[in-house]
Amino acid sequence: MSESRQLIAPVTGISKIALVALAVVFLAGLFVVAFDQGHILSLVYGEQAFADQFFHELAHDVRHASGFPCH
């Protein structure tokens, strides 16, 4: 007769680095959707980014659906 052995790997949970990375991604996304008026791209495009508001227009409908006023 053959014996079967079951190996059980201990589950230690989610690493703290993964939680911090997830929190940073969440906060960056929240900033882009809720508050960005050209601030992020102004680092690259300068004052023109405030006039174009690329991320504002990209996330415009998401802002209204989430309840954030934007105009």
Instruction: Provide the residue-wise pLDDT of the chain in tens; the chain has 71 residues.
Output: 677 787 787 777 888 999 999 999 999 888 877 777 778 778 787 888 778 877 777 777 888 888 877 66
CB atoms within 10 A of CB 70: 15
Q: What is the pTM of this model?
A: 0.58
What pLDDT, on the 0 to 100 scale, is given for residue 1?
A: 61
Closest listed residue to residue 60, CA positions, set 27, 41, 32: 32
**Percent of the chain as helix, strand, coil, to the nearest 5:** 60, 0, 40
Structure token digits, residue 45:
């495009």
Say if CB 55 and CB 32 are below 8 A apart: yes
What pLDDT, on the 0 to 100 scale, is given for residue 24?
A: 97
